[in-house]
Amino acid sequence: MSYTLTLPYPVSTNVMWRHFRGRPVLSAKGREYKALAAQLALDAGITPIEGDVRLEVVLHAKKTKKPTGKRPRCIDLSNSLKVAEDSLIGIAFSDDAQTRSISMAYGEPVVGGALVITVSALTNAN
């Protein structure tokens, strides 16, 4: 079983989580992003995978409106991974502890940016 989902450009983990009374809590922007990820997954018919999973993540920077000759700024790959995992808990898998293999890359910039994530069930043959 495998799912590919295109999510909006992720919020930074620094924005997604806030500390309240010594505990990390999901911020308003984090809740909004997670709700959008859940709705997109629901619309795509995604159900949680049981057992170990492999994640393939491609982060697409936001394409600039004018050609500047510079590479578009983009959040760190590792930052986008945590946001993607946290957003898909209970949606594409039950717990991010199920992740046993990760492949990450930057993709070409796209208008508005995007995070494309493929979640695949791992079997003994993988």
DSSP 89: B
Set out the domains of the chain in order of their start, with CATH numbers.
2-121 (3.30.1330.70)
3-state secondary structure of 97: helix
pLDDT, tens digit only, all 126 positions of the chain: 899 999 998 887 777 778 888 888 888 888 898 899 989 998 999 999 999 999 999 999 887 656 666 665 677 788 888 888 888 888 899 988 999 999 999 998 888 899 999 999 998 655
**Do 104 and 57 meet the contact criterion of CB atoms below 8 Å apart?**
yes
